[in-house]
């Protein structure tokens, strides 16, 4: 990760709770074969139905702090007395293989990543409008009114940072949105900074022909 000369792109996806990030990312990974989904590590207890290595890697506080000490996380944060972080090894290995690696992180973590890895691609997923967001949060049927209100408040706070993202993606129709996210990644691959070798080769070849 030191030089970020990998072919793969580090993609950070943020967005309001209820914006549909999870579904989008699953569909993206399913539809195209260039993606790898990073799984976060946490010290919180698994919820019913959550599987080790799928939603999270569940570890003890001691294990997590050892990871931190080893510089084994590319970012981490603490919420409500629990740690959450992104294991470095998986991300690095996939980027080296040329995979585009997707991290789902909230805005503070996203900005940390951007600082450490300026070539990371930051996307913010938004519902078409706030009413739709509320409807989706309520539609889940699993959350109390209090939780919904807390999330709307949090959304309002997160909305302050949208301009710091490279792109916003409106999650209106799933398929279109997945295609758009893929377009953004394809576009990033076309930046001159990601094609230095190709440009250099073209120059040498042209020199040789002249």
Residues that bind a second copy (CB under 8 A): 124, 126, 129-131, 133-134, 149, 152-153, 155-156, 159-160, 162-163, 165-170, 180, 183-184, 186-187, 190-193, 195, 198-199, 201-203, 205-210
Q: How many Å apart are CA 198 and CA 210, to the nearest integer?
A: 18
Phi-psi region of 141 (alpha: psi -120 to 50; beta: other; left: phi over 0): left
Question: Which residue's CB is nearer to a second copy, number 31 or number 183?
Answer: 183
C-alpha gyration radius of the chain: 19
Q: How far is the CB of 129 from a second copy (least distance, A)?
A: 6
Q: How far is the CB of 17 from a second copy (least distance, A)?
A: 12
181: nearest Cα among 95, 104, 76: 104
Question: Which residue's CB is nearer to a second copy, number 77 or number 152?
Answer: 152
Question: Which residue's CB is nearer to a second copy, number 52 or number 129?
Answer: 129
Q: How far is the CB of 205 from a second copy (least distance, A)?
A: 3
Strand, helix or coil for residue 14: strand
Q: How far is the CB of 29 from a second copy (least distance, A)?
A: 19
Q: How far is the CB of 74 from a second copy (least distance, A)?
A: 24
Where does the chain show beta strands of DSSP type E? 10-15, 35-37, 40-42, 56-58, 73-79, 82-87, 100-104, 121-126, 167-170
Question: Which residue's CB is nearer to a second copy, number 78 or number 156?
Answer: 156
H helix or E strand, kind and range, residue 39: none
Question: Which residue's CB is nearer to a second copy, number 59 or number 178?
Answer: 178
């Amino acid at each position: 990760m030191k030089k970020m000369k990998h072919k793969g792109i580090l993609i950070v996806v943020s967005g309001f709770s209820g914006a549909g990030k999870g579904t989008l990312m699953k569909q993206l990974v399913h539809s195209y074969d260039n993606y790898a989904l990073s799984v976060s590590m946490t010290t919180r207890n698994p919820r019913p139905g959550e599987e080790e290595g799928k939603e999270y890697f569940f570890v003890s506080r001691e294990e997590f702090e050892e990871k931190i000490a080893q510089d084994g996380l590319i970012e981490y944060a603490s919420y409500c007395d629990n740690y959450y972080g992104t294991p470095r090894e998986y991300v690095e290995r996939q980027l080296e293989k040329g995979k585009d690696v997707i991290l789902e992180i909230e805005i503070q973590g996203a900005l940390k990543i951007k600082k450490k890895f300026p070539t990371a691609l930051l996307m913010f997923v938004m519902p078409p409008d706030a009413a739709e967001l509320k409807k989706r949060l309520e539609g889940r049927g699993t959350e109390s009114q209090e939780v919904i209100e807390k999330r709307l408040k949090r959304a309002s706070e997160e909305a302050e940072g949208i301009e710091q993202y490279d792109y916003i993606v409106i999650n209106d129709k799933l398929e279109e949105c997945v295609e758009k996210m893929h377009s953004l990644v394809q576009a990033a691959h076309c930046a001159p900074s990601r094609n230095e070798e190709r440009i250099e080769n073209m120059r040498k070849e042209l020199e040789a022909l002249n």
